[in-house]
Amino acid sequence: MSPLSGILPYTRSIFLATILFSGSLGHLWAQPDTEVFLARLAREDGRYVLQEATNISGNPGYDNQPFFLADSPELLYARTRNGQTDIARYNFITGSLQWLSDTPGGGEYSPMPIPDSDAVAAIRLDTTGLQRLYRYQNGGQQVVMEELKIGYQVWTGPDLLVCTVLREDGMDLVVARPSDQSAYTYQKGVGRSLARIPGSPLVSYSSVEDGQTWLRSMDPNSGATERIVPLPEGVQDIAWLPDGSLICGGTNELLRLRPGTDSTWQPWHRFGGEVGRITRLAVRENGGYLAMVAQKPEAP
């Protein structure tokens, strides 16, 4: 494997998005008051449509980073509890909530399942400033990568991890194998949006090139990348619909674009007054539901 050439410029917006996970700087920045919403995703006349969203967290503080479990009516998310964040497992059929972590000396972020196992991986930021990716299983926990300060993650196999690793002034795109603790940096100066591309072994990620944020694809095995589409100004978070369409937020409205078909982002769904600025998004792999994170609307 060979690294991609070039070091892309960092932008202030991407740097500030990583402050939450930047160790000694983390305590200097307040976490936003966010909620996790769930909406039904239906197929009508060959297109996906959304129903109105329901607030499923209803909890003061930082409730964020939802991720659906495959073949299960549940999702994981980071939920504030006693002044920190722990991993919550929410059943959206029964409305029940379970806790998968309880870490008085730190908080967990960005939980997601590890393929072909019943384990969950999450980033833990300790009060000491140590930040590592942990594996949580059967009440126990274990560091996944001993040396990497991981900010965001996506798994493409039980032993193949695509992640962003924090440096002093930004994040790098890294492919790692926990079994032998190997890690290879493919690109410097990337954003936080990592996602599996439906029907493909590829992962999408964002990077800033000549002042424009682009969504790119990457093959974790070869390292080959390609541009997909430019992202709207100020947008960092995207999700893929099962039909290969992209959606993103930024206000209380979602935009949609189908790469290779659409030339511009188009309005897709605007939510009511209970939804503020939308950031992170997650779509259930086999469809049916969309989860999103939104800030509380400002009082009039």
Q: What are phi and psi of 59, to 5 degrees?
A: -140, 130
- Contact call for residues 47 and 289 (beta carbons, < 8 A): no
- pLDDT tens for 78-104 read 999 998 999 999 999 999 999 999 998
Sheet with 203-209, strands from edge to edge, namely 195-196, 203-209, 212-218, 225-230
What is the Cα–Cα distance from 184 to 220, expressed in whole angstroms? 10
- Does the pLDDT at position 25 exceed 60? no
Q: What is the pLDDT of residues 223-264, one digit of tens each?
A: 999 999 999 999 999 999 999 999 999 899 999 999 999 999
Closest CA to 7 of 162, 166, 173: 173
User: Residue 30's pLDDT band (boundaries 50, 70, 90)?
Assistant: low
Supply angle C-alpha 103, 109, 112, rounded to 5.
Answer: 110
Q: Which of 118, 111, 115 is nearest to 139 (CA)?
A: 118
The answer for residues whose C-beta is within 8 angstroms of residue 207's C-beta and 6 or more apart is 8, 173, 187, 189, 190, 191, 213, 214, 216
Rounded CA-CA distance 171/246 in Å is 23
pLDDT band at 1 (very low <50, low <70, confident <90, very high): very low
Across 154-168, average pLDDT: 96
Task: Give CA–CA dist 192/33, Å, rounded.
Answer: 19
H-assigned helices in 171-256: none
Q: Do 133 and 145 touch, CB atoms closer than 8 A?
A: yes
Mean pLDDT calculated for residue range 32-44? 94
pLDDT band at 38 (very low <50, low <70, confident <90, very high): very high
pLDDT digits (tens, 9 = 90+) for 265-284: 999 999 988 899 999 999 99
User: Per the structure block, which two tokens stand in for 50?
Assistant: 């959304």
What integer pLDDT is reported at residue 160 of this predicted model? Answer: 97
Q: What is the pLDDT of residues 43-55, one digit of tens each?
A: 999 889 999 899 9
Average pLDDT, the chain: 89
What pTM was computed for the model? 0.88
Distance CA 175, CA 185 (A): 7
